[in-house]
Structure 1
Amino acid sequence: MSELEKMLSGDIYDPSDEVLTMLRAEAREITARYNVTPRRDLAARTKLLAQLLGGIGGEIKIEPHFNCDYGQHIFVGNNFYMNFGCVILDCAEVRIGDNCFIGPQVGIYTACHPLDPIERNKGIEFAKPITIGDSCWIGGHATINPGVRLGDNVVVGSGAVVTKNFPDNVVVAGNPARVIKALTT
């Protein structure tokens, strides 16, 4: 099994692998071009996102500076907006539904490191996918941790650290995030 296959299956992998290193370099080149492409050049920006991401819906807007590990493991739906300075570490798949809005400085992280310091110091990693449902709003400076699944219509308060799954129609906030309000639809 290749290191890429191990990474995508959630197994321990070596991120210094030549193929993974090349894929990250390609993603950085595309994001660098994207981040300096004028906002008024919508066609060029959309073309770069289509080249970078694994799948995009219609009406996608990502403000600079956007950074990701690979890009190709990120899938976003229709009517997507991501504000300034967001980071997605997509060592596993990140799936974001339709009508989602992400505030500035949000981090979405699939990458994990061993808790044991001897293992961690070897530089090995593993990853867990993240799924964000339809019509979610993630407030600025929130962090979405590996393996999290957010249901539809979830609102994540600014600065929240989301460490577990949440069902549809809730507002979550805090560190660690917890339900602070149920939403009625």
Structure 2
Amino acid sequence: MTEKEKMLAGKLFDPADKELCRGRERARRLCRQFNLSTETEKKLRLKILQDLFQTQNTSLWIEPDFRCDYGDNIKLGKNVFMNFSCIILDTATVTLGDNVLLGPGVHIYTPLHPMDPDVRSTMIESSKPVTISDNVWIGGGAIICPGVTIGAGSVIGAGSVVTKNIPDNVLAVGNPCRVIRSVKETDKKP
């Protein structure tokens, strides 16, 4: 099993592996090109993002500055919007469903470091996937931790730290993030 296969399977892996280093270098190069592009270079930006995420999706919009570890572990639905300064550490699969909105400075993390300090000192790590379902809005500055799934139609309040799964159609806020209430019919009106 390669280190990349171990990484994507949630097993302990060595991030210093040459294949993984090349993948991160590729992502950093593409992110740098994207972040240095101008607002009038919409076609160029889309092409860079399609290369980064290895997709033909044309309905995504990301504001610079954007950073990620690999890019090709990020799966994007239709009409995904990420505001300024989002970061996705994608050592495991990160899935963003259709109509997902990320506020500025949202961070999504999949890497995990061992709790045992002796094991941690070897610099190996593992990861858990993150899934953000359709029609989710995540407020600015929120942090989504490894292994979390956010249910369809939910809203995560600004500055929240999501450490556990969030069900469908709820408003959840805080550190740690917790459900405050269901999304109501009255919320569906402008």
TM range (shorter): over 0.9
Structure 2 Cα separation of the partners of residues 66 and 127 of structure 1? 21
The answer on 1:166 being equivalent to 2:166 is yes
1:56 shift after superposition: 5.8
Structure 1 Cα separation of the partners of residues 141 and 133 of structure 2? 19
1:166 shift after superposition: 1.1
Find the counterpart in structure 2 of residue 156 from structure 1: 156
- Kindly provide the CA deviation profile for residues 5-25 of structure 1, in whole angstroms up to 9, marking residues without a partner as x: 000000000000011011100
Find the counterpart in structure 2 of residue 28 from structure 1: 28
Structure 2 Cα separation of the partners of residues 150 and 156 of structure 1? 9
1:79 shift after superposition: 1.0
Unaligned runs of 5+ in 1: none
Find the counterpart in structure 1 of residue 13 from structure 2: 13
CA RMSD of the aligned region, Å?
1.0
| Matching residue's letter, 2:175 | N
1:87 shift after superposition: 0.5
Going from structure 1 to structure 2, the CA distance change for 1:55 and 1:148 (only over 3 Å counts) comes to farther
Q: Name the SS of the counterpart of 2:5 in structure 1.
A: helix
Q: Name the SS of the counterpart of 2:4 in structure 1.
A: helix
The answer on 1:177 being equivalent to 2:177 is yes
Find the counterpart in structure 2 of residue 136 from structure 1: 136
Structure 2 Cα separation of the partners of residues 68 and 56 of structure 1? 18
Cα pair 1:54 1:73 within 8 Å, conserved:
no
Find the counterpart in structure 1 of residue 89 from structure 2: 89
Find the counterpart in structure 1 of residue 59 from structure 2: 59
TM-score under structure 1 normalisation? 0.97
Number of equivalent positions = 185
| Matching residue's letter, 2:15 | P
Find the counterpart in structure 2 of residue 49 from structure 1: 49
Cα pair 1:103 1:141 within 8 Å, conserved:
yes
| Matching residue's letter, 1:2 | T
1:33 shift after superposition: 0.2
1:152 shift after superposition: 0.5
Cα pair 1:142 1:156 within 8 Å, conserved:
yes
Structure 2 Cα separation of the partners of residues 87 and 152 of structure 1? 21
Find the counterpart in structure 1 of residue 188 from structure 2: none
| Identity level (%) | 48
Going from structure 1 to structure 2, the CA distance change for 1:56 and 1:163 (only over 3 Å counts) comes to farther
Structure 2 Cα separation of the partners of residues 70 and 19 of structure 1? 11
Cα pair 2:50 2:57 within 8 Å, conserved:
no
The answer on 1:79 being equivalent to 2:79 is yes
Structure 2 Cα separation of the partners of residues 21 and 57 of structure 1? 26
Q: Name the SS of the counterpart of 1:75 in structure 2.
A: strand
Q: Name the SS of the counterpart of 1:32 in structure 2.
A: helix
| Matching residue's letter, 2:131 | T
